Structure 1
Amino acid sequence: MSSKPAMVVSDIDSDGTQRDLELGHAKGVHLVNDVVRSFAWNSLDVQIKDRKTKDPLSILSDASGIVHQGEMLAIMGPSGSGKTTLLNALAHRKAAAGATTTGEILANGQRIDQDILRQHSSYVEQEDALIGSLTVIETMNFAAGLALSSSTTKKERKQRVRDLIASFGLQGQADTIVGTPIQKGLSGGQKKRLGVASQLVTDPRILFLDEPTSGLDSALSYEVMNYIKEIGRKNKLIIIASIHQPSTSTFKLFDRLCLLSTGKTCYFGSLPEAHPYFSSIDFQMPTEINPAEYYLDLINTDLAQPGDEVYQRAQCIAREWNESDRGVALKNEIQATIDLAKSEKSIPILADIRLHEPSLWTITPVLLHRSWTKAYRDFVVYGIRIAMYLGLAILMGTVFLRLSNTQANIQPFINAIFFGGAFMSFMAIAYVPAFLEDLATFKKERANGLVGPLAFNMANFIIGLPFIFLIAALFSIVEYFLTGFRQEAQAFFMSTLWLFLDLLAAEALVVLVSSIFPIFVLALAVTAFANGLWMCVDGFLVPMNILNPFWKYVFHYIDYQAYVFQGMMVNEFKDRDYRCTSIDADTYHCMYPSDLNSKGKIRGTSVLEAFGISVGKEAQWVGISIAIIAGYRILAYMVLRLRK
């Protein structure tokens, strides 16, 4: 989590003249616009283990390059060439699963570690990790709230947000939502611009872009990259973007080009010098052709096999680059920046620059506000669930309608208790898609050093409390009285409490499973399976006194549904009697043995005894349920913390 130096962006006055806008400085922080003057990498290698042989396999070899402030670099290559691998390695992210990265990453000629780089950079993912129910202005305001320290005034934040929205041409869409599956919002190009703008509000000096034009046509691609180019040029940013098959107009916006093929560098240098370089190695570009397309065709090995002409050509181009004067000159330029950093005292030392960081207590309220806005506005988050649970309440209330206190209705009462608790828990899987959207946003913000797992989990838990209580209360109001449960205020409120704890645990389970398996179908399947398991061992389908010891001692005692079922059973049967079936005036048929059988009644505690449920342990069960909820939440926090 870091606050970054203020920046200046360009805006256009009504008369068409250009002016520079100061976006606000954090008080007490020494700000230098050219704090990062160059960004370089030297002899970068990324290796993974070959799946078959288990030998080291290089997916990026001896990559070197340098970009200066105000420049925009395009990393290009065919699919599988190592574009995203290089971009992730440069950003100190995980280059690939199980990858080992070696080499130097330098800023101002100095080695830069992950923490320092994140303070001075932002990474924009290929997929838009935007919250669909928020407007443009809200998205920017929340991004500013997470990124800027408390020493930055509210006025300065608002000014920074307004200026960035104007600079990216989004003034007319300021109050338009991003867009959800139910509500239409921004266009694809506008979403891309907003995604970049929300990262620039943190005022990075280095901007990493992963396929910023994916999914856009040539006109929108040019529009997005042109906005980024102007912002970068005016504010002396270093912009590094992986890009696939840009149009000619988009391609010419870049200052430098890095061509990769099978993890090897085929060219690195300025865009105008690419043409003469390839001509010098006997690859003359035809006239009237898209240069980007021509370069990619030269090194494209997607359909090539080792040994054929296309593969050999790509390998030859990579060898030519390593042996070329330009390749040697690049290495010398990088070395010169290292030597200059050692001798020139005026070059900023990034490790010595301490930026103010927003605290946990500053970030959590921002996350709470954002989550609250999403929760009440996005029908998918809680609206659908409220409708589902009300539907279930009406269904149950009309199926188990007005059950009387006769022994014939004892089993329907038990069925209603089990069905209500178990299926309310099961239907919590509807929260999976909403949480996965939040998780994607969290991962983006965490990778940029803005939000930690503790703040994210705290906000997620706190914001769910009122909505879950509302669901439990509405369900109880409809179903409890229709069914004919014990008509006492205390019994009603206890039933609502048990359902509230049931839903809290179910949502905590969703959060845990989705954190472990952040894939929609997989999270849905695992959560559904877990709920099915809890239903089987909660003491209804098989009473505890005859439940298989393995399932009883391994799973039953950690089953939150078991404590909900037992608590609601005690709540209903502890202080209630039921009438036996009368055979004649003095003879009764009673299903459960009880000291009241001679009077034609069954004491409710006899039903509890048949299920092996004790009376007087309600407080203990509430405590265990809360402990299970806390356990799920702590485990989810640990999962996110370990997955850096």
Structure 2
Amino acid sequence: MTSTTSDDSRLDRAPKDTGPVDIERRAVAEAHLQNTTVRNISWRGVTVTVKDRETKLPKAIVENVEGIVEAGEICALMGPSGCGKTTLLNVLASRPTGALKVESTVLVNGVGPSRAAFREMSRFVEQDDALIGALTVRETLNFASRLASTSSLPKRERIARIDGLLDSFGLVEQADTLIGTPIRKGISGGQKRRVGVASQLITSPKILFLDEPTSGLDSAASWEVVNYLKGVAKRNNLIVIASIHQPSTSTFNLFDKLLLLSAGKTHYFGPVAVVGPHYNSLGLELPLQVNPAEFLLELVNVDFAATRHRRLEQMQHAWAASRRAAELAAAVADVEAKGAALSSFSDTTLELAAAEKRPSAPSLVLTLLHRSFVKSYRDVVVYGIRLAMYTGLAIMMGTVWLRLGADQSSIIPLTNAIFFGSAFMSFMAVAYCPAFLEDYEQFLKEKRNGLYGATELVISNFLIGTPYLFVFSVVFSAISYWLSNFQPTARAFFTWVLWLFLDLLAAEGLVVLVTSAFPVFVIALALVAFANGLWMSVDGFMVPPTVLNVFYRYVFHFWDYQKYVFENMMVNEFADRVYACASASLPGGDCQCMWQTDLADQCLIRGQGVLDQYGYRPGYMGKDVGIMMGIIAGYRIAAWLVLKLKR
């Protein structure tokens, strides 16, 4: 992977076939693949440049770093806060860094694999790993396995792998315990860290990147996690590269190699056992009975003493001129030279493996649907709270607008009730933001690990939500519609349910779009609320379409989904209904109707007279349903585009 980029892509793209792959070539590739292992990962010339916040000039936060880690080894990236550990880890894992410029050559077995092949062989564990709180520990590992290439394994073998990981990570007793939601307590923070690592190991990666895997763990738990990683690396020829901050002595000694950074520059790379002699040769002897990791971090820290800068420069120059640095450069060059001859063939076999092992799109959608279904009925934040809110709203609406009569005094209250029911049902969809944010964080992690993409998420999210939204529409309508005494026919009732259902589908699509674009709870909440406020203002109730000014009418009104809901609910209520004029019984028999229609001589008001002040006419329901379906699809497609472009 040789590149000089603006952080768009640091992996070579997959080679394009120039013709059909013949059977013999595929057979040879597959046979070679059985014996193909990742022997090493190497990198050289890794330089990351950002814009300095103060000077606004380019500034290198990682500068000309190189290294090599062999299969079966576990390497620690260490250095003081802000030295570039996480940035370097992201470059090695081909993840976005947000940098102005990234220059790097990252090779596997001496060659640059395609993006698909690299994602197939590697996994990344975030410092704050996203886990679904409504799943148990065992289910988390099971779904991770089903989404990865290990989904092709027999069920018995997958279960055996899960049981082995649970035992190795000390999670057997917590296997059937929930990860934990804001409402239901689950496992501890340290146990979550172990589950995060285990959920990546279950997919059988060849290279594992970890960002602060021991963060939040005590020294005993940290040692257990790193010790297990070391054992797995040895047994399975796994390469483990982990950024780590201030490990205990026992944990530090478990690592095979150490890359020590300061201000983005290499101060040491090599076996942990040799770091002492290296600094002894510089006259900086490691004290006895002192944690060597703490000593090294204090040695390369630049935050608290300006006088250290010259000494740090001297130490960095001493490393660059050392025999071990020369040997490292030679080893990296040797690996690259050996890999050049096999570049095309190795990349082809790895690409075939990635394509053939990956689950199909329908299989991924079904797995995501299954996972979302488990979450939907266990986590009340997803749909339970909304069902309670909508039920309460229906009871309130039905009892406030209680048994309205078929006379003109009820016309304005009925109109208000139609607006209130449709608009506030739509507005309350904002409660879906927290649940989708959890799905979004999970998606980002799994997308970056190459498990699935935006298409699978958008389809599964829509499919899992649709039945629940239909239930909400029926429950709300069954309570409020008959209590308020809207047009008492079955046809009118089910038409109301249809429009409320479409209203909720559009509202949830808006939530998914906004939250995908702005995945911060407070921001998403504010923007969705603002959008709903805008839709309420221009849907035709506050200001009739016949009066609404030209700007809002043509810029917002016609693609406001609440406009079509309100209009068709009004038509549903008033088009075929007649209302009595309330003044018919006054002395003298004079009839005073608030709306003058052709039934005025009978002291009645035809409902169409109410619709005329809004410019509404029946007969457009089919067209409006089509427009609503287009708006619903538009929100989902827009969300898909946003998620597709997310790095």
TM-score (norm 1): 0.92
Q: Where does residue 74 of structure 1 map in the other structure?
A: 76
Q: Where does residue 40 of structure 1 map in the other structure?
A: 42
Tell me the distance in 1 between the aligned counterparts of 2:496 and 2:205.
Answer: 52
Aligned match of 1:49 in 16, 41, 51?
51
Tell me the distance in 2 between the aligned counterparts of 1:233 and 1:548.
Answer: 72
Aligned match of 2:96 in 94, 102, 121?
94
Contact 1:150 1:362 in 2 (8 A): no
Which amino acid in the other structure matches residue 498 of structure 2? L
Aligned match of 2:612 in 609, 612, 621?
609
Residues 472 and 336 of structure 1, relative CA distance in 2, 3 Å threshold? same
Q: Where does residue 7 of structure 1 map in the other structure?
A: none
> CA offsets, 1:88-113, max 9 Å, x none?
00001112x14321121011122234
Aligned match of 2:61 in 59, 62, 66?
59
> CA offsets, 1:216-272, max 9 Å, x none?
222222222222222222111100001111122221111111111111111111111
> CA offsets, 1:307-361, max 9 Å, x none?
x212333333222222222211110111121233346x79982442321221111
Tell me the distance in 1 between the aligned counterparts of 2:459 and 2:304.
Answer: 49
Say which SS state the counterpart of residue 349 (structure 1) adopts: helix
Aligned match of 2:626 in 615, 623, 628?
623
Deviation, 1:468, is 0.5
Q: Where does residue 638 of structure 2 map in the other structure?
A: 635
Q: Following superposition of structure 1 onto structure 2, how do residues 268-307 of structure 1 map, counting pairs within 5 Å?
A: 268-304=269-305
Q: Where does residue 403 of structure 1 map in the other structure?
A: 404
Which amino acid in the other structure matches residue 163 of structure 1? G
5+ long unaligned stretches in structure 2: 1-29
Deviation, 1:581, is 2.1
Which amino acid in the other structure matches residue 560 of structure 2? D
Deviation, 1:290, is 1.1
Say which SS state the counterpart of residue 581 (structure 1) adopts: coil
Deviation, 1:401, is 0.9
Deviation, 1:29, is 8.0
Q: Where does residue 23 of structure 2 map in the other structure?
A: none
> CA offsets, 1:380-413, max 9 Å, x none?
1000100011111111111111111121111111
Q: Following superposition of structure 1 onto structure 2, how do residues 585-596 of structure 1 map, counting pairs within 5 Å?
A: 585-596=588-599
> CA offsets, 1:596-630, max 9 Å, x none?
12222111111111122222111111111110000
Tell me the distance in 2 between the aligned counterparts of 1:420 and 1:523.
Answer: 23
Residues 419 and 30 of structure 1, relative CA distance in 2, 3 Å threshold? farther
Greater CA drift, 577-586 or 621-630: 577-586
Tell me the distance in 2 between the aligned counterparts of 1:107 and 1:366.
Answer: 31
Alignment partner of 1:265 is 2:262: no
Tell me the distance in 2 between the aligned counterparts of 1:303 and 1:77.
Answer: 14
Alignment partner of 1:479 is 2:480: yes
Tell me the distance in 2 between the aligned counterparts of 1:272 and 1:149.
Answer: 36
Q: Where does residue 191 of structure 1 map in the other structure?
A: 192
Say which SS state the counterpart of residue 368 (structure 1) adopts: helix
Deviation, 1:33, is 7.2
Contact 1:109 1:340 in 2 (8 A): yes
Which amino acid in the other structure matches residue 535 of structure 1? M
Tell me the distance in 1 between the aligned counterparts of 2:92 and 2:115.
Answer: 10
Q: Where does residue 313 of structure 1 map in the other structure?
A: 311
Question: Aligned Cα RMSD in Å?
Answer: 1.8
Residues 210 and 348 of structure 1, relative CA distance in 2, 3 Å threshold? farther
Which amino acid in the other structure matches residue 313 of structure 1? R
Tell me the distance in 1 between the aligned counterparts of 2:381 and 2:601.
Answer: 55
Say which SS state the counterpart of residue 588 (structure 1) adopts: coil
5+ long unaligned stretches in structure 1: 1-27
Say which SS state the counterpart of residue 134 (structure 2) adopts: coil
TM-score (norm 2): 0.92
Which amino acid in the other structure matches residue 52 of structure 2? D
Greater CA drift, 142-151 or 389-398: 142-151
Tell me the distance in 2 between the aligned counterparts of 1:617 and 1:316.
Answer: 80
Say which SS state the counterpart of residue 436 (structure 1) adopts: helix
Tell me the distance in 2 between the aligned counterparts of 1:480 and 1:203.
Answer: 55
> CA offsets, 1:498-528, max 9 Å, x none?
1100100000000000110011111111111
Q: Where does residue 134 of structure 2 map in the other structure?
A: 133
> CA offsets, 1:116-164, max 9 Å, x none?
2111111111112111111122111111111136643333333332332
Aligned match of 2:334 in 333, 336, 348?
336
Contact 1:33 1:236 in 2 (8 A): no
Deviation, 1:300, is 1.2
Which amino acid in the other structure matches residue 412 of structure 1? P
Greater CA drift, 453-462 or 292-301: 292-301
Q: Where does residue 321 of structure 2 map in the other structure?
A: 323
Q: Where does residue 601 of structure 2 map in the other structure?
A: 598
Deviation, 1:474, is 0.4
Tell me the distance in 1 between the aligned counterparts of 2:437 and 2:94.
Answer: 24
Which amino acid in the other structure matches residue 321 of structure 1? W
Residues 231 and 347 of structure 1, relative CA distance in 2, 3 Å threshold? farther
Tell me the distance in 1 between the aligned counterparts of 2:545 and 2:591.
Answer: 29
Q: Where does residue 243 of structure 1 map in the other structure?
A: 244
Q: Where does residue 11 of structure 1 map in the other structure?
A: none
Deviation, 1:77, is 1.1
Tell me the distance in 1 between the aligned counterparts of 2:220 and 2:415.
Answer: 64
Q: Where does residue 561 of structure 2 map in the other structure?
A: 560
> CA offsets, 1:138-192, max 9 Å, x none?
1111111111366433333333323322332322222111111111111222211
Alignment partner of 1:439 is 2:440: yes
Q: Where does residue 217 of structure 1 map in the other structure?
A: 218
Alignment partner of 1:513 is 2:514: yes
Alignment partner of 1:170 is 2:171: yes
Say which SS state the counterpart of residue 128 (structure 1) adopts: coil
Tell me the distance in 2 between the aligned counterparts of 1:442 and 1:587.
Answer: 68
Greater CA drift, 531-540 or 220-229: 220-229
Contact 2:169 2:228 in 1 (8 A): yes
Q: Where does residue 157 of structure 1 map in the other structure?
A: 158
Greater CA drift, 627-636 or 245-254: 245-254
Tell me the distance in 2 between the aligned counterparts of 1:584 and 1:29.
Answer: 101
Q: Where does residue 229 of structure 1 map in the other structure?
A: 230
Say which SS state the counterpart of residue 111 (structure 1) adopts: coil
Say which SS state the counterpart of residue 191 (structure 1) adopts: helix
Tell me the distance in 1 between the aligned counterparts of 2:274 and 2:249.
Answer: 16
Residues 92 and 249 of structure 1, relative CA distance in 2, 3 Å threshold? same
> CA offsets, 1:8-67, max 9 Å, x none?
xxxxxxxxxxxxxxxxxxxx8876577011111011111123345543221110000111
Q: Where does residue 503 of structure 2 map in the other structure?
A: 502
> CA offsets, 1:464-519, max 9 Å, x none?
01101011110001111111111110111111111100100000000000110011
Which amino acid in the other structure matches residue 89 of structure 1? V
Contact 1:248 1:291 in 2 (8 A): yes
Which amino acid in the other structure matches residue 289 of structure 1? V
Tell me the distance in 1 between the aligned counterparts of 2:375 and 2:184.
Answer: 13
**Identical counterparts, % of pairs:** 53
Greater CA drift, 32-41 or 590-599: 32-41
